[in-house]
Structure 1
Amino acid sequence: MNTTKVTPDPTADAVRMWLVERTYSDDEQNMVILTYATPDGERYFRKERALTSFSDVRDTTAAVDAAPSNVGTVDDPDDRERYAAEATRMARAHDPDDVI
C-alpha cells in the first residue's frame, strides 16, 4: 500500500495579474508600489518594493500569479475601468515574464 502524502500545489489556484500601475510612495522614501490587476479590472494585487541601492536589481515582470488570499477587489468604477484597459493592453503586448 502506497502511503505517500501528496502536497497540494500552492500556485494551482493562482490568479494571473497584469501590471497596471507603478507609483512611488509619498510616505516612505525609496518605496515603489506595483499594482497588478485582472483584465476585467475587478481584482488587484499590490507589491511594495524598497529600493535600497542602485545595485539592487529586481526585475518587474508584465504579469504575476498571485495567491487568491492576497488579491483584493477594486471598488471604484473608474479604477476598475482604468485597470481593465491597462491589464488588457499589457496582456496583448507582452508575455507574462517580459521585464517591464
Structure 2
Amino acid sequence: MSDDGDESVRVWLVERTYSDDEQNIIILTYATPDGERYFRKERALTSFSDVRDTTAAVDADPGNLGQTGDPDLVEQYAAEAQRMREAHDPDDVI
C-alpha cells in the first residue's frame, strides 16, 4: 500500500472503546504501522442481532487519517499495529 495519490493506506486495529456519551457506540481506532496516523470508525449497535465484523485491518483514504501527535500514543499505536500485523491477516475477524 502506498501513502500517495489516490492510493488507500492500510491501517491496523489498535483500540476498541465505548463512547462515554452514548453506550451503544463503539469506537474502533486503526493506525498506520508507524503509529503516526490513525483512522477512527464509530459503530452504533442498534440491537443484539446487529452483527458486523471488525477486521484486523482496513484500507483507508489518506484524507481520512488524523495525525496522532502525542509521542506516547504514537508508540502505543505502533506497538499494537505491529502486534496485529504479526498475529493476523488483514481480513481476520477480531
**TM-score where L is the length of structure 2:** 0.93
Deviation at 1:97, TM superposition (A): 0.2
Give the number of equivalent residue pairs. 89
Deviation at 1:49, TM superposition (A): 0.2
Structure 2's unaligned 5+ residue stretches are 1-5
1:51-82 CA deviation, whole Å, 9 max, x = no partner? Answer: 11010010000000000110111100000000
Percentage of matched positions with identical amino acids: 80
Deviation at 1:28, TM superposition (A): 1.2
Matched with 1:30 is 24
| Structure 2 residue matching 1:92: 3-state secondary structure | helix
Question: Rg: which structure is higher?
Answer: 1
Match of 2:92 among 85, 93, 98: 98
* 1:66 aligned onto 2:60: yes
* 1:19 aligned onto 2:13: yes
Match of 1:57 among 40, 48, 51: 51
Could you list the runs of 4 or more consecutive aligned residues of structure 1 that deviate by over 6 angstroms after TM superposition? none
Q: State the distance in 2 between where 1:18 and 1:69 align.
A: 17
| Structure 1 residue matching 2:83: 3-state secondary structure | helix
1:20-43 CA deviation, whole Å, 9 max, x = no partner? Answer: 000000011200000000110001
Deviation at 1:84, TM superposition (A): 0.1
Matched with 2:3 is none
**TM-score where L is the length of structure 1:** 0.87
Q: CA RMSD in A?
A: 0.7
